[in-house]
Amino acid sequence: MTDTVLAPAKTRVQTQPRVGARRFRRWWKNPWRKPRFLEAITWGYLAWSIMPVLIAILLSFNRGRSRSTWQGFSLRWWTGDPFDSLWHDPELHSALLQSLRLSGMTMLIAVPLGVLFAIGIDRWRGRGSGTANFVMLLSFVIPEIILGIAIFLVLRFLLTFVELGTTAQVLGLVSYQLSYPVIIVRARLLSIGREYEEAAMDLGASPTRALRRVLLPLLYPAIFASFAIVFADSIDDFVTVRYLSGPSSSEPLSVKIYNQARGDPTPAVNAAATAMLISAIIAIVIGVLLYRWLARGQRAGVREFAAQV
């Protein structure tokens, strides 16, 4: 404040920056000022994260061979081209089916197993439960390449009766994806608590009956969220699956895309990736809708579904 007292003696031109500085200081100290800078970063980040994908989807409708320049709209790489399009290339076509088959099977095996594990770990008091917890968290952080190679070597040298191909791929995917349902269902179990089940048993239900009639319905939202997540995630997987692929007919779309993207890709790769994206999105949307419907009456929305993730 002392400099304001001195200020009048000087010329107007010199006070100008001080006014600016004071205004800046007041702006800076105002706790309710708008965080323009952070806002810009956030929107910039969101644009950066979403735009490339949108452009890639757009380019799958390209008329020409280029994946970098727009040359007009056509369905050439989806259905038109008799050799290279997603629909007519027999390899891509069967790979898409293989992808759907793999993730469908993985989903149907991993989720029920995961639910049982989650209930098991939740009830398991004493030694070992900590270790079980460790293992479940492990597959989130361990590089997938380590898991993939480990399973590959085990199947190749120890469990030699499992041939590389669909069975091996499903085995690998299940062990990789198992922790999603376990963690999601366990979080839900913790928030439900044991009271409902105990109440059911007080009213005369046997433990199995209490589990089936009371606990399981309460878990449905978490279970369906797991279904959607496991499906969407295993359709995208290409690391584990690639090591466990047998003949090239057992390679799913993700692996084909990966191989082609390293070689000489055409927009058909973009089309294939878009097809994969669409299947994943369908799975998620069905998951959200089922979740909303099952969790009606409770607080349910996209945000709670997201919280499950």
Partner 1 sequence: MLWLAVLFVLPFYVILSVALGTVHPIFLSPLPVWQPWYWSTEHVRDAVGKIVGPDAFLQPVFLRTFLYVAAATTLCIVIGYAVAYYVARYGGKRRTLFLVLLIAPFWISYLMRMVAWQGLLQGDGYVNRLLTATHVLGEPYNWLQGRPITVILALVYGYIPYMILPLYGQLDRIGQNLLEAGRDLGASPLRTFFRVTLPLSKQAILAGTVIVALPMFGDYYTNDLVGSPKTSMIGNIIDDAVNSTGQGPEAAVFVLILMLILLVPLLYYLRSTAKAMGSA
Smallest CA-to-CA distance from 47 within 36, 39, 59, 35 is with 39
Nearest-angstrom CA–CA distance, 117 and 181? 9
For partner 1, give the closer residue by CB, 31 or 72.
31
Q: Which C-beta is closer to partner 1: that of 173 or that of 200?
A: 173
Q: Cβ closer to partner 1: 200 or 256?
A: 256
Shortest Å distance, C-beta 113 to partner 1: 10
CB of 202 to partner 1, least distance (A): 27
In the complex, minimum distance from the CB of residue 288 to partner 1, in angstroms, rounded to a whole number: 10
Q: List, as own/partner pairs, every contact residues 259-268 make where C-beta atoms lie below 8 angstroms and the sequence separation is at least 24, other chains included.
A: 265/67, 266/65, 266/67, 266/77, 266/84, 267/59, 267/60, 267/61, 267/62, 267/65, 267/66, 267/67, 267/76, 267/77, 268/60, 268/77, 268/81, 268/84, 268/85, 268/86, 268/89, 268/92
Please say whether the beta carbons of 181 and 230 come within 8 A: yes
Q: CB 209 → partner 1: shortest distance, Å?
A: 27
CB of 208 to partner 1, least distance (A): 22
Q: Which is closer to partner 1, CB of 169 or CB of 210?
A: 169
Phi, psi of 73 (to 5 degrees): -85, 140
Name the residue nearer to partner 1 (CB basis): 128 or 207.
128
Question: In whole angstroms, how close is the CB of 82 to partner 1 at the nearest point?
Answer: 23
- What is the smallest separation between the CB atom of 11 and partner 1, expressed in angstroms? 32
Structure tokens at 267: 């927009």
In whole angstroms, what is the distance from residue 89 CA to residue 73 CA? 20
If the CB atoms of residues 142 and 199 are measured against partner 1, the closer one turns out to be: 142
181: three-class secondary structure by DSSP: helix
Both ends of the chain: CA-CA distance in Å? 53
| 57 vs 208: CA distance, rounded Å | 49
Shortest CA distance to 182 belongs to which of 245, 146, 235, 138? 138
15 burial class (0-12, 13-18, 19+ CB within 10 angstroms)? middle
Report the residue number, 97 or 307, with the smaller CB distance to partner 1. Answer: 307
Shortest spacing between CB 220 and partner 1, in angstroms: 22
Q: Which is nearer to partner 1, 12 or 303 (CB)?
A: 303
Distance CA 270, CA 192 (A): 43
